[in-house]
Amino acid sequence: MLDSPVKDRLHQFHRAYLTTRGVSINNKGRWKCFVHEDTAPSCNFVPGTEERLWHCHGCGVTSDIFDSCHYLEGRPQNGVAWFKETFCYLAAEFNVEVPRFDRELTPEEEHEMLVDRAFERAARLVLSMQHSDMVRSKLADYGWSPVILRSFGIGGVTSFSAYVEEMDKAGFSLDFLKDIGLADYRIFREQSLIFTIKDHNGRPIAFAGRNLLFEQEVEALEKLSKESLEYSALESKHAPKYVNTAFAKGQILFGFHLARGNSSLYVFEGNADCVTAHNLGLLNSVAVCGARFNEKHLQLSLENGVRHFICCFDSDNGGQGGKEAFAEFFDKQLEARPDVRAELIDLPAPDGQKVDPDVFMRRNGLKAFRDLPRRSYFYWNAKKETRDRVTVAGEYVRKILLQPDPLMRYDMLCQLSEATTLPRELLFESALQQASRQDSEIAKQVVAAGQRLLLFKEQPAQVKAALTGVSPAVEKVYEPVRKIADPAPKPTAAPVVKLVPARAQSDAERVNQAAKANAAAAEQWK
């Protein structure tokens, strides 16, 4: 969109514009409405919109800076006239440079501008129109705060006809709405909870409607005979659970405009999962809008500095499929990006029942959700291997030796140990052996770590002394070192499947034996 960056800048001047035009904002942030005859200050900026929008509690108008300019100075709201007489006028006023056109706008550009304004208007109506009882009750179930609803753009319309009428008042005819996909009755009706889908800059580009009659209609259909007239009548008007206006589904991450700026990102399947996560304070959450997480999503995230993905799918079969696809996808995509981490959250499925993250978080709270076990895609791929575990371990150890971060190498080693049930010590020995044949910087580090470990083994008393009083988080990292320094680990230590007989055995012996087993294993894949 040619005017988008300028538009974003202009929105920052909304308050300045109002005050220079004589609107007096009191110390509570309220002012008298200039759209209707206001006796008390009924207007305030809509929280969560960074003063892009204000709302009047008297007449119900919700307005951005361009509409304010229309109401205060009678300037056009839409079309080319809007561009020339409102948009460029405000840009000049606030010294925001508009790219110069030595030509007239093309019809396509004019059309695009009009469509853009129509989507903005519809997004505002979704927030400001009176919601039906059905929508209100669904929102009460979710328990999302008003600020969350506004920052996402979630709400509903009073009725289809009321919506069409409001759009018409703003200069968008029903025919025009039909042309641009904004007249879908299945979305813009009172039985639909409407989600505004925004691009990564927060501009509305589509709408998704959750059909609130869906469950009820399915139940009614199940009771009827498929041959009956009632069945075909009901089936013909039965809308899917989710309907959305057309948009490039695979390129948008729902909620990304709010999650931007975080280096880690929670990726959910459903919009509601993402909104609940934000509502509970997990502000780095997005949803894939019913698509698979793909290269476009990855690219968008990487460009915005995301280096850690935490993916959470429903605990049903679809979710499981999504999990595998996700693990495979990251395995391919991140081969050359060892700086990027991707993990999957295991959502518990009591009695094989479907649980989605939204329900889980609302029932158990954010802490319980964050405490759920997470494993990297590396684990899932190793886990689903059908080849023998020694072959798998050898291959995955090679992948670990590509990881520049020592903490991540350690984490991968632990996950590989868990997936293959081979002891960590053995995997470390294997890594050491492979590293000693390589010339890379990482290999050198691993070999040096091995030498330090040897030193630790010879001086257990010093190591024990050095590890006294370190914080639990740090202690976890030094766990293998401590194991060597302290021959009798506490019974609470994580169980490790032992390849060696479970008799009393010194650690030196155990490591020795592990090394022998490893050498034998290495012989196999030479």
- Tell me how far apart the alpha carbons of residues 284 and 413 are, in angstroms, rounded to a whole number: 27
- Tell me how far apart the alpha carbons of residues 317 and 495 are, in angstroms, rounded to a whole number: 30
Q: What is the chain's Cα-based Rg?
A: 30
One character per residue 120-139, x = contact with Zn ion (rule: CB under 5 A)? --------------------
For residues 56 and 463, which CB has a smaller minimum distance to Zn ion in the complex? Answer: 56
Q: How many residues bind Zn ion (CB under 5 A)?
A: 6
**Per CB under 5 A, which region of 49-57, 184-192, 283-291, 334-342 contacts Zn ion?**
49-57
**Per CB under 5 A, which region of 53-61, 80-88, 156-164, 462-470 contacts Zn ion?**
53-61
Contact criterion met (CB below 8 Å) for 412 and 380:
no
Minimum Å gap between C-beta 36 and Zn ion is 4
Minimum Å gap between C-beta 43 and Zn ion is 6
Minimum Å gap between C-beta 59 and Zn ion is 3
For residues 21 and 36, which CB has a smaller minimum distance to Zn ion in the complex? Answer: 36
Minimum Å gap between C-beta 147 and Zn ion is 22
For residues 33 and 275, which CB has a smaller minimum distance to Zn ion in the complex? Answer: 33
Length of the chain as a residue count = 526
When asked if residue 58 is in the footprint of Zn ion (CB under 5 A), the reply is yes
- Other CB atoms closer than 10 Å to residue 164's CB: what's the count? 19
**Per CB under 5 A, which region of 15-23, 54-62, 192-200, 210-218 contacts Zn ion?**
54-62
**Per CB under 5 A, which region of 55-63, 258-266, 303-311, 459-467 contacts Zn ion?**
55-63
The letter for the amino acid at 402 is: L
Minimum Å gap between C-beta 71 and Zn ion is 9
What φ, ψ does residue 311 adopt, rounded to 5°?
-105, 135
For residues 71 and 247, which CB has a smaller minimum distance to Zn ion in the complex? Answer: 71
Minimum Å gap between C-beta 51 and Zn ion is 18
Minimum Å gap between C-beta 49 and Zn ion is 17
Max alpha carbon distance in the chain (Å)?
89
From the list 6, 56, 90, 167, which residue makes contact with Zn ion (rule: CB under 5 A)? Answer: 56
Give the end-to-end CA distance of the chain in Å, rounded to a whole number.
58
Nearest CA to 395 among 426, 445, 431?
Answer: 431
- Tell me how far apart the alpha carbons of residues 183 and 160 are, in angstroms, rounded to a whole number: 9
Residues near 353 by beta carbon (within 8 Å), at least 6 away in sequence: 315
Minimum Å gap between C-beta 52 and Zn ion is 18
Subset of residues 206 to 265 that bind Zn ion, contact rule: CB under 5 A: none
- Tell me how far apart the alpha carbons of residues 355 and 395 are, in angstroms, rounded to a whole number: 35
Using DSSP's 3-state secondary structure scheme, residue 143 falls into coil
Minimum Å gap between C-beta 94 and Zn ion is 25
For residues 59 and 81, which CB has a smaller minimum distance to Zn ion in the complex? Answer: 59
Q: CA dihedral defined by 402, 414, 326, 391, rounded to 10 degrees?
A: 70
Subset of residues 59 to 88 that bind Zn ion, contact rule: CB under 5 A: 59
Reported for 501-508, long-range contacts at CB under 8 A and 24+ positions apart, including other chains, are 507/457, 507/483, 508/457
- Tell me how far apart the alpha carbons of residues 464 and 187 are, in angstroms, rounded to a whole number: 65
Minimum Å gap between C-beta 379 and Zn ion is 57
C-alpha dihedral sign at 249, 255, 261, 265: negative
For residues 7 and 32, which CB has a smaller minimum distance to Zn ion in the complex? Answer: 32
Minimum Å gap between C-beta 130 and Zn ion is 15
The letter for the amino acid at 100 is: R
For residues 130 and 434, which CB has a smaller minimum distance to Zn ion in the complex? Answer: 130
Q: Sheet of 43-45: strands edge to edge?
A: 30-31, 43-45, 54-56, 62-63
Strand partners, 344: 311, 375
For residues 33 and 277, which CB has a smaller minimum distance to Zn ion in the complex? Answer: 33
At 348, list the tokens: 């518990």
Contact criterion met (CB below 8 Å) for 164 and 183:
yes
For residues 59 and 246, which CB has a smaller minimum distance to Zn ion in the complex? Answer: 59
Contact criterion met (CB below 8 Å) for 308 and 408:
no
The letter for the amino acid at 447 is: V
At 389, list the tokens: 């575990």
Minimum Å gap between C-beta 180 and Zn ion is 28
For residues 67 and 273, which CB has a smaller minimum distance to Zn ion in the complex? Answer: 67
At 485, list the tokens: 């320094």
**Per CB under 5 A, which region of 25-33, 78-86, 230-238, 473-481 contacts Zn ion?**
25-33
When asked if residue 327 is in the footprint of Zn ion (CB under 5 A), the reply is no
For residues 23 and 496, which CB has a smaller minimum distance to Zn ion in the complex? Answer: 23
Minimum Å gap between C-beta 25 and Zn ion is 15
For residues 25 and 499, which CB has a smaller minimum distance to Zn ion in the complex? Answer: 25
User: Distances in Å between the alpha carbon of 417 and those of 124, 331, 435?
Assistant: 53, 18, 18
Subset of residues 27 to 46 that bind Zn ion, contact rule: CB under 5 A: 33, 35-36
For residues 43 and 126, which CB has a smaller minimum distance to Zn ion in the complex? Answer: 43
Which parts of this chain interact with Zn ion (CB under 5 A)?
33, 35-36, 56, 58-59
